C-alpha cells in the first residue's frame, strides 16, 4: 500500500535522512563487499585480461582483445541464470557457491610459475608448476561464471532485508561495486610494479573473496544462533518478509497474478533496463579503446596517465549511481526518468 499512497499524495516521500538510515546496518556494507568483488572484480578483470594475456602468454593485441571481450559476454548472460538460481534455491546458497568457487579459482590463478627441486636418495627430482594458456583461460571463464551468478545473488538479498529501502541500499551496493571497477585495475598495476609478479592481481582477488566468504559465514552462523531452532531454515536469505512489499498486489509466485499483471510489470522493467545498461557499458568499453589511441592523434599522455583515463568511467559511474539511487525514492521513478529525458533534450539543443 505504501507505493499507491505515495503516488496519490497521501504519504510524503522518504527524506534523505530516512533513506540513509539503513546505512548504519553492517549488512549493507557486507553486501557491498560482496559486490565489490563479484562486480568490481569482474569489470577489473575484463579491463586487465588483454594486458595479462600479452604480458604472460605473449599473445598479439588482437587475440588478447578478443579473449578479453569474450570474457565479458558469458559473464553478463549468466547473471540472468544467477537470478533464476537465487529464486529457486536461495540467494544465500548461490553466494556460497559463488564465493567458494572464486576462492578456489583465484588461489590456483594466484600461484606464480615455480620450479621445485626435491633432494631424493638417488638424486634431485625437479618439478614445475605453471598454468598454461588454455587452463588459464578455462579457469578465468569459470571464475567469471561464478562472479556473474554472485552479482544476481547479492541483489536478491536487498529486497528481502530492506523492502522499503531497495533504491538507496541497492544504489550504495552498486556504487561500491562500481568503485571496484575503478580501484582494482589501478591496484593490479601497482601490485605488478611492487611484487614483479603477474599473478599478483589474483592474489589480491583471493584476499578479497576470502574475507567476503569468512564474513558471510560468520554472519550466517550468528544469525542462526539468534533465531529459534524451528525458524532457522527460514532466515531472510530464503524467505521474503511478509507485509513489507512496496508494490501493491505483487505476488509473482502466483500463476494467476503473473498471468494478469506480474509479467507485464517485469517485462516493462526488463526491456527498459536492457538498452540503458547496454548503452552504459558500451560507452565504458568504447572509452577504454579510444584512450589507447589518444597519443596517435596528438595527446601527450604517459602510459600511467592513459591507464588512469581508462579507469575514470568506473569512478564516475560508481559515484553517480549512488546519487541517482537517492533521487528515485524522493521523486518517483517515472517522474525522475522524465526529468532526465527533458534535461538531455535541452542539452542536445
What's the pLDDT at 335? 55
| Grid cell in block for residue 52 | 595479462
Comparing 31 with 14, which gets the higher pLDDT?
31
| Grid cell in block for residue 44 | 577489473
| Lowest-confidence segment of 25-39, 54-68, 75-89, 246-260 by average pLDDT | 246-260
Contact 92, 238 (CB under 8 A): yes
What's the pLDDT at 262? 74
State what percent of residues in the chain have pLDDT above 70.
Answer: 71
Q: Around Cβ 132, how many Cβ atoms within 10 Å? A: 10
Q: Single out the residue of 138, 144, 154 nearest to residue 73, CA to CA.
A: 144
Provide the total of helices (H) and of strands (E) in the chain, helices listed first.
Answer: 13, 2
> How many Å apart are CA 200 and CA 189, to the nearest integer?
9
What's the pLDDT at 230? 46
pLDDT tens sequence across 85-114: 888 888 889 999 999 999 999 999 998 888
Residue 33 has pLDDT above 90, yes or no: yes
DSSP state for residue 163 in the 8-state scheme: T
pLDDT tens sequence across 211-237: 999 999 998 888 877 755 544 444 444
pLDDT tens sequence across 43-74: 889 888 888 898 889 888 788 878 887 887 77
What's the pLDDT at 117? 78
At which residue does the C-alpha cell 583471493 appear? 206
Contact 163, 244 (CB under 8 A): yes
pLDDT tens sequence across 182-222: 889 889 988 888 888 999 999 999 999 999 999 999 988 88
Burial 198-214 (b: 16+ CB within 10 A, else e): bbbbbbbbbebbbebbe
Strand partners, 127: 116
What's the pLDDT at 3? 42
Mean pLDDT of the chain: 76
Q: Single out the residue of 67, 292, 270, 41 nearest to residue 144, CA to CA.
A: 41
Strand-strand pairing, 114-120 and 123-129: antiparallel
What's the pLDDT at 330? 60
Q: What is the pTM of this model?
A: 0.72
What's the pLDDT at 337? 56
Q: Single out the residue of 156, 135, 140 nearest to residue 79, CA to CA.
A: 156
Burial 35-67 (b: 16+ CB within 10 A, else e): bbbbbbbbbbbbbbbbbbbbeebebeeeebbeb
> How many Å apart are CA 47 and CA 40, to the nearest integer?
11
State mean pLDDT over 269-286.
70
Amino acid at each position: 500500500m505504501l507505493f499507491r499512497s505515495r503516488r496519490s499524495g497521501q504519504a510524503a516521500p522518504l527524506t534523505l535522512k530516512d533513506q540513509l538510515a539503513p546505512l548504519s546496518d553492517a549488512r549493507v556494507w557486507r553486501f557491498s563487499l560482496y559486490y565489490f568483488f563479484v562486480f568490481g572484480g569482474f569489470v577489473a578483470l575484463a579491463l586487465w585480461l588483454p594486458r595479462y594475456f600479452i604480458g604472460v602468454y605473449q599473445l598479439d593485441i588482437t587475440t588478447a582483445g578478443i579473449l578479453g571481450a569474450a570474457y565479458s559476454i558469458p559473464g553478463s548472460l549468466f547473471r540472468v541464470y544467477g537470478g533464476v538460481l537465487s529464486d529457486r534455491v536461495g540467494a544465500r546458497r548461490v553466494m556460497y557457491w559463488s564465493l567458494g568457487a572464486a576462492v578456489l579459482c583465484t588461489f590456483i590463478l594466484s600461484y606464480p610459475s615455480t620450479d621445485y627441486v626435491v633432494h631424493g636418495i638417488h638424486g634431485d627430482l625437479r618439478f614445475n608448476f605453471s598454468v598454461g594458456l588454455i587452463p588459464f583461460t578455462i579457469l578465468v571463464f569459470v571464475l567469471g561464471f561464478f562472479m556473474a551468478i554472485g552479482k544476481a545473488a547479492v541483489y536478491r538479498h536487498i529486497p528481502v532485508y530492506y523492502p522499503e529501502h531497495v533504491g538507496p541500499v541497492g544504489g550504495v551496493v552498486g556504487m561500491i561495486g562500481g568503485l571496484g571497477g575503478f580501484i582494482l585495475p589501478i591496484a593490479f598495476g601497482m601490485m605488478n610494479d611492487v611484487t614483479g609478479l603477474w599473478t599478483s592481481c589474483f592474489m589480491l582477488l583471493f584476499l578479497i573473496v576470502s574475507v567476503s566468504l569468512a564474513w558471510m559465514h560468520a554472519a550466517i552462523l550468528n544469525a542462526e544462533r539468534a533465531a529459534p531452532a524451528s525458524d532457522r531454515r527460514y532466515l531472510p536469505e530464503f524467505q521474503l518478509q511478509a507485509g513489507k512489499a512496496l508494490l501493491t498486489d505483487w505476488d509473482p509466485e502466483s500463476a494467476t497474478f503473473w498471468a494478469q499483471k506480474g509479467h507485464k510489470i517485469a517485462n516493462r522493467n526488463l526491456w527498459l533496463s536492457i538498452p540503458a545498461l547496454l548503452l552504459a557499458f558500451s560507452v565504458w568499453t568504447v572509452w577504454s579503446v579510444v584512450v589507447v589511441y589518444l597519443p596517435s592523434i596528438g595527446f601527450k599522455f604517459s602510459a600511467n596517465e592513459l591507464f588512469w583515463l581508462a579507469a575514470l568511467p568506473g569512478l564516475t559511474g560508481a559515484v553517480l549511481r549512488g546519487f541517482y539511487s537517492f533521487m528515485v525514492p524522493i521523486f518517483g521513478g517515472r517522474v525522475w526518468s522524465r526529468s532526465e529525458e527533458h534535461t538531455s533534450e535541452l542539452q542536445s539543443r
